[in-house]
A and B are shown apart, each in its own frame.
Chain A
């Protein structure tokens, strides 16, 4: 009798897990395309523009050629076929052109090797002398994860590698948010590069991921119980930190304590899978690149020849509370697959994707 009860319960538990997983995959969802204006592809960029950072003068730094250390067979074939290597590009919002320039990367501090470079998240900072600094997440090929610091040399369109950060808390890093020229937050989106634990975590909906803070010397976990922490950004006044808790379909707004600890303030549901977050330097609103249909995103992650839809959301923020949302862009995947980041600057919408094209649209609608 007891055995029947146990087996029956296990069976029901399994069924509800299967149903939940199928539901979250979003097979039943249907959305329609729409654009804020005329859209075109950006020239001169290899595949992928996973994250970007735009300085207040309109200069935008783009990471391209995302890959973790353990990619699937199909993905590896795709990477080899399309000559996808880790690159950094520069886009200037002041030119009215849909073009980018590739930046040359020099330097090898702490063993940094540009041939093994695979950038992911990025965050910018202006140092005291007004020089542009960039913190970039690096999934070093056949190695471990690092956060690399570069200095932009405008005359030679060059990124000079200046420092390399590494710690055991860097499990599988996604994004970074600078808080000074030598301190930052970063998000882990898995407990390690092996796909096995990622699958277990995804099916069991286990909230195992963390946000870590580096104060220049020490690293400490400042937020946990996240279900795949993805993008991270900071409000203009430095009071709030926004984290895309992607698999839980929500944006976490956290209060930043004087010692840089983070305390959850608001958890805002977005009913989509949010990737990177960019804070508008004038309005404090958030621009989010998102993946609306999980089943399609998984297909694309495994084999990039499949298209998955792209979505850009604007989240309106008041006093650290997200109050409203608007959808700025939706495409089924034929124009751009897997949008991961977006920004509106000078009435233009720039959208980056994980491993696909990059798009620039006119913004003719009220924001």
Chain B
């Protein structure tokens, strides 16, 4: 009798879990395309523009060629076919052109090897002398995850590697947010490099990922229980940290304590799988690149040559660290751009980056 009860309970638990997962995969969802203006893809770029940072002068640094250390066979074929290497591009909002320039990367501090470079998240900082500093997440091929610090040399359109950061808390890094020229937060989107374990965690709806802070000397975990923390950004006044709680389909707003600890202030449900967050320099509003239909994203990332995934850009209005409204700026079924990860509206233009697909720029003619 007890045995029957236990078995039936386990069975019911399993059934409800399977139904939940199938629902979250989004097979039943249908959305419509719409654009804020005229959109075109940027030519002559390698695949991917997973994250970018725009300085107040309009210079935008884009990471391209995203790959983790253990990729699927199809993804590897795709990378070879499209000559997909880790690259950094520069986009200038002041030029009225849909073009980028590739930046040359020099330097090899701490063993940094540009041939094994696969950039992911990025965060920019202006040091005291006004030099542009970039922190970039690197999934070093056949190696570990690092956060690399570069200095931009404008005269030569060059990124000079200046410092390499490494710690055991760097499990599978996604994004980084600088808080000074030698300190930052970063998000882990897995607990290690094994893709099967990551998939199991995702399917079991476990919340095991963490956000870490580096203060210049030590690393410590400041937030845990995240269901795949993804993008991370800081409000203009430095008081709040925004994190994409990707698998929970929510934006986490955390208050930053004096000692840089994070206390969750608001968990705002968005019903879409959000990726990177960019804070508008003037209005404090958030631009978010997002993946609305999970099963299509998973299919695309596993086999990008064959499958497209929808792209969505949201704008969140913020007031005192609370989300007060949402608008959808862009929605495409995947034909123009698949897997949008990052977006920004600057100078009446909308720039959208994708995980491993094209990059798009749109004229922006709708109320923002």
Q: What is A's interface to B at a CB cutoff of 8 Å? A: 28-39, 271, 313, 325-328, 330, 364-366
A37 in contact with B365 (CB, 8 Å): yes
Chain A residues contacting B268 (CB-CB under 8 Å) are: none
Q: How far is the CB of B133 from chain A (nearest CB, A)?
A: 35
A364 in contact with B34 (CB, 8 Å): no
Chain A residues contacting B23 (CB-CB under 8 Å) are: 28
Partner of A32 from the list B30, B36, B328 (CB cut-off 8 Å) is B328
Q: How far is the CB of A296 from chain B (nearest CB, A)?
A: 16
B327 in contact with A34 (CB, 8 Å): yes
Please judge, given known A-B contacts A36-B366, A38-B367, A365-B366, whether A31 and B34 are in contact too, CB under 8 Å: no
A364 in contact with B366 (CB, 8 Å): yes
A271 in contact with B30 (CB, 8 Å): yes
Q: How far is the CB of A109 from chain B (nearest CB, A)?
A: 44
Chain A residues contacting B295 (CB-CB under 8 Å) are: none
B314 in contact with A32 (CB, 8 Å): yes
Bound complex: CA A39 to CA B327 (Å):
14
Partner of B32 from the list A39, A327, A365, A366 (CB cut-off 8 Å) is A327
Chain B residues contacting A330 (CB-CB under 8 Å) are: 328
Please judge, given known A-B contacts A38-B367, A364-B37, A364-B365, whether A33 and B326 are in contact too, CB under 8 Å: yes
B34 in contact with A37 (CB, 8 Å): no
Chain A residues contacting B328 (CB-CB under 8 Å) are: 31-34, 330
What does the 1/0 interface line of B293-332 toward A look like (CB < 8 Å)?
A: 0000000000000000000001000000000011111010
Partner of B33 from the list A36, A326, A364 (CB cut-off 8 Å) is A326
A326 in contact with B32 (CB, 8 Å): yes
Bound complex: CA A31 to CA B271 (Å):
8
The 4 closest A-B pairs by CB, nearest first: A364-B365, A327-B32, A32-B328, A271-B30
B34 in contact with A327 (CB, 8 Å): yes
What does the 1/0 interface line of B228-244 toward A look like (CB < 8 Å)?
A: 00000000000000000
Bound complex: CA A347 to CA B340 (Å):
29
Interface size class of B (residues with CB under 8 A): 20 to 34
Chain A residues contacting B30 (CB-CB under 8 Å) are: 271
Judged by a CB distance under 8 angstroms, whether B152 is at the interface is no
Chain A residues contacting B314 (CB-CB under 8 Å) are: 32
Main DSSP-derived SS at the A contact region: loop
* Chain A residue at minimum C-beta to C-beta distance from B325: A33
Bound complex: CA A330 to CA B29 (Å):
17
B326 in contact with A37 (CB, 8 Å): no
Q: How far is the CB of B255 from chain A (nearest CB, A)?
A: 26
Please judge, given known A-B contacts A37-B366, A364-B365, A365-B366, whether A32 and B326 are in contact too, CB under 8 Å: yes
Bound complex: CA A118 to CA B326 (Å):
37
Q: How far is the CB of B13 from chain A (nearest CB, A)?
A: 20
B327 in contact with A366 (CB, 8 Å): no
Q: Which residues of chain B (12-64) have a CB below 8 Å from chain A?
A: 23, 29-38
* Chain A residue at minimum C-beta to C-beta distance from B329: A34
Bound complex: CA A29 to CA B23 (Å):
12
Partner of A326 from the list B29, B34, B36, B37 (CB cut-off 8 Å) is B34
Chain B residues contacting A37 (CB-CB under 8 Å) are: 365-367
Chain A residues contacting B325 (CB-CB under 8 Å) are: 33
Chain B residues contacting A326 (CB-CB under 8 Å) are: 32-34
A325 in contact with B367 (CB, 8 Å): no
Partner of B366 from the list A29, A35, A325 (CB cut-off 8 Å) is A35
* Chain A residue at minimum C-beta to C-beta distance from B328: A32
What does the 1/0 interface line of B123-150 toward A look like (CB < 8 Å)?
A: 0000000000000000000000000000
Bound complex: CA A366 to CA B36 (Å):
8
Bound complex: CA A223 to CA B329 (Å):
40
Partner of B367 from the list A30, A35, A271, A327 (CB cut-off 8 Å) is A35
B37 in contact with A327 (CB, 8 Å): no
Partner of B35 from the list A32, A313, A325, A365 (CB cut-off 8 Å) is A365
B35 in contact with A366 (CB, 8 Å): yes
Bound complex: CA A191 to CA B74 (Å):
56
B37 in contact with A32 (CB, 8 Å): no
Q: How far is the CB of B247 from chain A (nearest CB, A)?
A: 17
Please judge, given known A-B contacts A33-B328, A37-B366, whether A365 and B36 are in contact too, CB under 8 Å: yes
Bound complex: CA A328 to CA B32 (Å):
9
Chain B residues contacting A325 (CB-CB under 8 Å) are: 32-33
Partner of B365 from the list A34, A39, A365 (CB cut-off 8 Å) is A365
Partner of A365 from the list B31, B34, B271 (CB cut-off 8 Å) is B34
Bound complex: CA A325 to CA B367 (Å):
22
A31 in contact with B35 (CB, 8 Å): no
What does the 1/0 interface line of B163-193 toward A look like (CB < 8 Å)?
A: 0000000000000000000000000000000
* Chain B residue at minimum C-beta to C-beta distance from A311: B32
Chain A residues contacting B38 (CB-CB under 8 Å) are: 366
* Chain A residue at minimum C-beta to C-beta distance from B32: A327
